[in-house]
C-alpha cells in the first residue's frame, strides 16, 4: 500500500471536484472512481471526463499525480431504488421525512466498492464529498455513518482503510472558497463550466454558478453558496 495516496469518489459534481483538488494538493498519487447507477442526472458521468481532461491541462503538477479513472456499473442499485434520482418522479419528501432524492444504501455501496478498488490498487485513503452542513438530510452523508463504514472496511479487509471527508463541516460558500484557495479562478471556472449538480440533469441553462434547472434542491444549494461566497460576509 502507498501511504500517501488516495482514491477519490468523483461523481462529476461540484463537491467531489473540490475534493479531488484537495486530494491532489495533499497526496502524491490520486486515482478516481465514479458510479453509474442509472441516475436521472447521468449527464454528470459525461462531465467527469471533460473535467478530468481540462484539470490535467490547467494544472500540470496535479496531472503528474493523477492516475487511473474508472466508472463502475451499478445498474442494480438503480433497479432496487424507487427514488426521484432513479425514476421520473417529483422531488419532495417521503413519508419518513427524508427527501425523495435519497437513494438507500448508495454511499454504503459506493464506499464498499471503492474500498475494494483501493485495496487492489494499493491506495491508502478513500475521499468523498459528503457533508452534513449544507446537505439534503441523507443519513449516509453523516460523519457518524462514515466512521462506521471506515471501521467495517478496516475490519473486513484486514487493512487500515481511511475515509476522508474534507467538506463534512463546510457549507457551499466555504466549498467555493476552498476551490478558490486550492486552484484560484482556473479551478473555480472549471467547476462552474464542467461539473454537474442539478438533480434533473438539466444543462440547458447556464447560470453564474454553472448549469442546471435552477430550482431543484441541488441547484438551490449551489446557487446560494455561490452568491454567499461572491458577496462575502454581510
Model pLDDT for residues 71-116, shown as the tens digit of each residue: 999 877 767 766 545 556 655 555 665 555 666 778 898 999 999 9
- Grid cell locating 47: 462531465
Model pLDDT for residues 51-61, shown as the tens digit of each residue: 999 999 999 99
Instruction: Give dist(CA 127, CA 6) in Å, integer.
Output: 7
| 4 band by pLDDT with thresholds 50, 70 and 90 | very high
Domains of the chain and CATH, by start: 2-196 (3.40.50.620)
Percent of the chain with pLDDT over 70: 86
Residue 164 vs residues 66, 111, 189: alpha-carbon distances, Å: 18, 11, 25
Interval 216-221 mean pLDDT: 92
Q: Is 211 exposed, middle or buried (0-12, 13-18, 19+ CB in 10 A)?
A: buried
What's residue 76's pLDDT? 78
What's residue 234's pLDDT? 46
Query: To which H or E segment does residue 69 belong?
Result: strand 66-73
Q: How do strand 66-73 and strand 162-164 relate by DSSP bridges?
A: unpaired
13-22, 33-42, 89-98, 105-114 — which is least confidently predicted? 89-98
What's residue 79's pLDDT? 72
What's residue 42's pLDDT? 82
Q: Is the pLDDT of residue 192 over 70?
A: yes
166 or 99, which is more confident: 166
Residue with grid cell 432524492, as numbered in its chain: 101
Question: If we measure between CA atoms, which residue out of 30, 36, 34, 28 comes closest to residue 7?
Answer: 30
Q: Is the pLDDT of residue 164 over 90?
A: yes
- Report field, pTM of the whole predicted structure over 0.85: yes
Query: To which H or E segment does residue 146 belong?
Result: helix 143-157
Instruction: Give dist(CA 213, CA 197) in Å, integer.
Output: 10
Residue 208 vs residues 12, 57, 193, 205, 230: alpha-carbon distances, Å: 18, 23, 9, 10, 10
Amino acid at each position: 500500500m502507498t501511504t500517501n495516496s488516495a482514491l477519490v469518489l468523483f461523481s462529476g459534481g461540484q463537491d467531489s471536484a473540490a475534493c479531488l483538488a484537495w486530494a491532489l494538493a495533499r497526496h502524491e498519487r490520486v486515482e478516481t472512481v465514479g458510479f453509474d447507477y442509472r441516475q436521472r442526472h447521468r449527464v454528470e458521468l459525461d462531465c467527469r471526463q471533460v473535467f478530468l481532461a481540462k484539470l490535467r491541462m490547467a494544472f500540470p503538477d496535479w496531472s503528474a499525480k493523477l492516475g487511473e479513472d474508472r466508472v463502475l456499473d451499478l445498474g442494480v442499485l438503480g433497479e432496487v431504488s424507487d427514488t426521484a434520482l432513479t425514476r421520473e418522479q417529483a422531488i419532495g419528501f417521503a413519508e419518513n421525512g427524508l427527501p425523495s432524492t435519497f437513494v438507500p444504501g448508495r454511499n454504503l455501496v459506493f464506499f464498499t466498492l471503492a474500498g475494494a478498488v483501493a485495496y487492489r490498487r494499493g491506495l491508502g485513503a478513500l475521499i468523498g464529498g459528503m457533508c452534513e452542513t449544507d446537505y439534503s438530510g441523507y443519513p449516509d452523508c453523516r460523519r457518524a455513518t462514515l466512521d462506521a463504514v471506515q471501521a467495517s472496511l478496516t475490519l473486513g479487509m484486514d487493512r487500515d482503510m481511511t475515509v476522508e471527508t474534507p467538506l463534512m463541516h463546510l457549507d457551499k460558500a466555504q466549498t467555493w472558497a476552498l476551490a478558490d484557495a486550492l486552484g484560484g479562478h482556473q479551478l473555480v471556472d472549471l467547476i462552474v463550466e464542467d461539473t454537474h449538480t442539478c438533480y434533473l440533469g438539466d444543462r440547458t441553462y447556464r447560470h453564474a454558478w454553472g448549469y442546471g434547472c435552477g430550482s431543484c434542491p441541488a441547484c438551490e444549494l449551489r446557487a446560494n453558496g455561490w452568491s454567499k461566497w461572491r458577496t462575502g460576509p454581510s
